[in-house]
Structure 1
């Protein structure tokens, strides 16, 4: 698994085979394969309307929507709510009712931290994007996405966005810190907090200390990630 599609996300089909389709996500242009049983096709006009309409996301860690037959569909935090209007959403001719909290529009920078802490202690899952399993760049992408700011999917891609800061002292809570491996390839990302702390995914979503060398893990009593660059997105 390289990533996850959450409920309501739309994409183009690049190549449809017997059981699997290669797709490209509208949100971040990420490509991968999806089981043909796990999506419904929509008209091209609907696809472009979704691109141009206001975006709404579910704000509950876990909730459900119901269709007109009272069938339940479980949706995790950050799921898209297509054509949302007064507790109702629509996919093709099917209408759904959703009564949970909704996130929309751009948020202030301090809201990034509030949403980030919603994921605290979520387990690590390679390619994951939900509170039930998430990776480092999936975490930063989802948090920024729900605040109204698009990030690419992978850490090394996200590192190409925003403004470079020369020192930790120049950073603000909500900025991103990137870390590289022994070959200089960026492999990790986290969100800077107050007082030289960072929230990131290492085994789980956790808070550790950030210094000029990188991330110091108090449980292991050692540095686990080597700091490469700090970027200001907002």
Structure 2
């Protein structure tokens, strides 16, 4: 088995081994993974954090050995809490990193960092404050950063920054936690999931106080939540149909 770690701020994870393929997620600096298949230009990987699989360009990661992978896998995550920061390499060159970046691989990559970090499990009360860090970030299918993020990437990163693990896609996240019967039972930080006409979970957002929800739709935005679904305050119409509310923590 081969292993790798992302040594760039953010690189695309694609459905197929080509630059023209769909972006299914993003690999952020410090993310580490198993290499399932390696070709001349591309590698199929499985991310350690959430088990998500896809193809990454061989030029956009660094090989590590099994002991380094194991060390990263057992260490408590240290995450950058700055919107944009820099790490410095051994040549004193600066490399940008983004909000939610894992800094556990700094020594493996011979990099240094002196920005703000967060680690450990934080209170559920902190989730909404973290979510506001992404407010107005543009929507990007497969995105996980403040410069482009999708609905489940948003919820995953907010929970990650508070020490909790969510799976990658909305349909996967909907399998986690405890289902609630009514909106009135929910607390700020719980997740609301929404389906399409075929009953497939296609959207997720984070519940706030007083029947508001923060979610990524066009951008990370705040809308109303009722028993039918999300009521878009700009369009003055419902945009998503509520399926289930989950208490993750």
Calculate the TM-score normalised by the size of structure 2. 0.90
Matched, 1:230 2:245: yes
Structure 2 SS opposite 1:118 = helix
User: Which residue among 12, 30, 36 is the counterpart of 2:52?
Assistant: 30
Alignment-derived partner of residue 86 in structure 1: none
Aligned equivalents of 1:19 and 1:113: distance in 2?
41
Structure 1 SS opposite 2:25 = coil
Structure 1 SS opposite 2:36 = strand
Structure 1 SS opposite 2:27 = coil
Structure 2 SS opposite 1:18 = coil
Per the TM alignment, residue 90 of structure 1 is displaced from its structure 2 partner at its CA by 1.2
After superposition, what is the alpha-carbon deviation per residue over 1:32-87, rounded to whole angstroms, capped at 9, x for unaligned?
0000000000010000111111110111011110023111111010011025xxxx
Q: For 1:34-53, list aligned pairs within 5 A.
A: 34-53=56-75
Q: For 1:82-121, list aligned pairs within 5 A.
A: 82=104, 89-91=106-108, 94-121=109-136
Per the TM alignment, residue 109 of structure 1 is displaced from its structure 2 partner at its CA by 0.6
Alignment-derived partner of residue 151 in structure 2: 136
Segments of 4+ moved more than 6 angstroms:
none
Q: Which runs of 5+ in 1 are unaligned?
A: 84-88
Let me know the Cα RMSD of the aligned residues.
0.7
User: Which residue among 81, 91, 109 is the counterpart of 2:103?
Assistant: 81
Per the TM alignment, residue 160 of structure 1 is displaced from its structure 2 partner at its CA by 0.3
Structure 2 SS opposite 1:2 = strand
User: Which residue among 191, 194, 203 is the counterpart of 2:209?
Assistant: 194
Alignment-derived partner of residue 15 in structure 1: 37
Aligned equivalents of 1:116 and 1:99: distance in 2?
24
Per the TM alignment, residue 17 of structure 1 is displaced from its structure 2 partner at its CA by 0.3
After superposition, what is the alpha-carbon deviation per residue over 1:149-177, rounded to whole angstroms, capped at 9, x for unaligned?
10000000000000000000000000000
Aligned length: 227
Calculate the TM-score normalised by the size of structure 1. 0.96
Aligned equivalents of 1:24 and 1:68: distance in 2?
28
Aligned equivalents of 1:12 and 1:71: distance in 2?
28
Aligned equivalents of 1:15 and 1:31: distance in 2?
11
Per the TM alignment, residue 96 of structure 1 is displaced from its structure 2 partner at its CA by 1.8
Q: Which runs of 5+ in 2 are unaligned?
A: 1-22
Aligned equivalents of 2:238 and 2:107: distance in 1?
48
Matched, 1:147 2:162: yes
Aligned equivalents of 2:57 and 2:90: distance in 1?
26
